[in-house]
Amino acid sequence: MILVAGSSNLDFVVRAHHIPAPGETVLGRDFKTFPGGKGANQAVACARAGGAPTTLLTAMGADAFAAPIEASLREASVHLDIVRSTDQPTGTAFICVSDDAENAITVAPGANLALHAQHLPNLQGTSHLLMQLEIPLTTVTAYADAAHKQGVTVVLNAAPVQALPSELLDLVDVLVVNEGELAALSHHTGTIAECLERIKVPTVVVTLGHRGCCARIEGTFLVQPACAIAAIDTTAAGDTFCGSLVAALSQGASMRRALQLAGAAGALACTRLGAQSSIPQAAEVNAFLAQQAANDSEAVDALGVYCGLAVGTYS
């Protein structure tokens, strides 16, 4: 079983021609609310896109914003372990999505900050603990420490990015970041490969948007070109990738296969609006991946070059 410990938010989403610059007001178009939050999104991805038994440990307020999030999670067959805050509202996120599918997000954490060390359940039967950084860093560290001591694989999606203490990184087995987060955590402006080598975590996976992804497993590099899609909304694409990756690994998939499945799930999420509403079913992911052509050597080598890897030093 996978335990996801993290945030739950209600997303307020407006579509506009472009994302406003500082001081700029833009006229938006349609407006909708969607269940979201990195923890909740990744739990849905584990259960729906990955088909893995999943529990979400999260905190929500005693308000109306919690109801649609809980309904979405239950619909995805996620088991819920909710800490109910009576003095903080359910977390919210305000998202602007542009016509070119990019987004800008501001999160009001609310009840997510009420998730603390004492709320961690018994980890018996748990193979993987997946966390993000929309809950207190002290909580993330405490959970990672408890999981590490019990032999549970600790996976951290270091988003939203912030400085991470070495004592936390020492407890992480798999770190998942995007390109900007990788640069921030490695304190390096060099190539992807150079940045990956500077982070002392056994396995580091970096998502590279429309290019694909790259992983360093100890001293071995894997590169996986992206699936070709027509994106309309990139919200939760990274969360879908993370959840699908952990689901595949929890079911015994190789890292190569897990990257393929996660990349396909994340790509499909970009073709739909919203956060949890965009996450595909496992059958859709497998069917979509089956339709993809095998990675050609030119695409693999082009991605390897982008990552700063010499030909022959990756697979």
- What are the structure tokens assigned to 167, written together? 């004592």
Cβ count within 10 A of residue 71:
11
- What are the structure tokens assigned to 185, written together? 């955590």
**Cβ pair 72, 276 in contact under 8 A:** yes
DSSP, res 234: -
CA 306, CA 69: separation in Å to the nearest integer?
A: 39
Q: Which is the catalytic residue, given 30, 173, 239, 301? A: 239
- What are the structure tokens assigned to 24, written together? 């700029």
Reply yes or no on whether 239 is catalytic: yes
Verify cis geometry, omega within 30 degrees of 0, for the bond prior to 202.
no
Closest CA to 306 of 225, 228, 237: 225
Just list the catalytic residues.
239
